[in-house]
Amino acid sequence: MTLVGAGPGGADLITVRGANALRQADVIVYDRLADPELVDFAPAAAERICVGKGKGFGPSQSDICEVIVSRARAGLHVVRLKGGDPFVFGRGGEEVEAVESAGIDVEVVPGVSSALGAPLLAGISLTDRRLASSFTVLSGHHCAVSDHDWHTSAQSAATLVVLMAASTADAVAQRLIESGRAPLDPVAFVHAAGTDEQRVAYCDLTETARRGCPFPSPTVMVVGPVAARTTSPQMPSIEDRLLASVAG
C-alpha cells in the first residue's frame, strides 16, 4: 500500500514519486480535496473509490481503513491519495497504523501541505524576515471547539496558518482577539490554491470575527503582518478586496 500526498491543489503540484505510484495502482482510495485529474493517472482498469468526507457526510475513518486493508490483503496495490500532505491534519498516521497492524507494508510519499503551498501561491511569504521569524499551523476544525492554548497563539509574533477554516474562521478570529491578538491584525483567505478556481481575499481579525470566511472549503486562513497587501491603516472591506482579487 502506498500513501500519497496530492499536494495543495492542481494536479501538476503532486510529486513525481506520487504520480508514479498512481500509475502503478490497482486501487485508488481518494479524498474530495485531491484534484480529480489525479485519479486519471491510474490505469483505466484500476478501481476508484471516493472516500471524501465533509461536515455531516462521508464514511467513518474506521470504514476507510477497512476498505484499504481489505483491498491490500487481496494482493492489490492500493494507493491512498490524500490532499496536501497526509501527515498534516490528514489522519495519515491512523491509516498507516491500521495497514501495518494488518501485516501489510506501507510506503509514504509526502506532499506539499496547503499550509505551505496556499500562502506561497497567493504571494504570501510566511516568514518574511522583516515581519515574522516563524509560523504556526492550526486546524480550524479543532481550534473552534477545543481547549487550544489561545493565549500563546494570540501573544506570539508568529504567522498563524489555519487549515480547514471555511466554517470556523469567525470563531478562530474571535478567540484570538479575546486572548490579546491585535484586532486589526491582517488576515488573508486563500481558496482552492493552485487551481483555476484560486481566489484570495484580505481583511483583518475584527472583520473576520464579524463576517467569517468569504469562501467555501477548501480555504486556508493566514493571520499576521505577512497577510497584508496594503500599508494603509484603513483596510478595504472584504467584499471590496474580494472583488479586486477576482477582477485581477
The grid coordinates of residue 26 equal 490497482
DSSP alpha helix (H) spans, the chain: 16-23, 36-39, 61-73, 92-101, 114-121, 140-143, 150-155, 169-178, 205-211, 238-247
Distance CA 171, CA 143 (A): 9
What is the rounded CA–CA span in Å between residue 158 and residue 180? 14
In angstroms, how far is the first alpha carbon of the chain from the final one?
A: 43
Give the C-alpha separation, 152 to 135, whole Å. Answer: 13
Measure Cα distances from 67 to 1, 76, 88, 110 in Å.
Answer: 12, 12, 22, 22
Q: Which residues are catalytic?
A: 31, 53
Query: Residue 159 in 3-state DSSP?
Result: strand
How far apart (Å, rounded) are the C-alpha atoms in residues 68 and 96? 10
Q: How far is CA 193 from CA 80, 153, 165, 196, in A?
A: 21, 25, 14, 8
Instruction: Provide the CA 38 distance to its chain's centre, in angstroms.
Output: 17
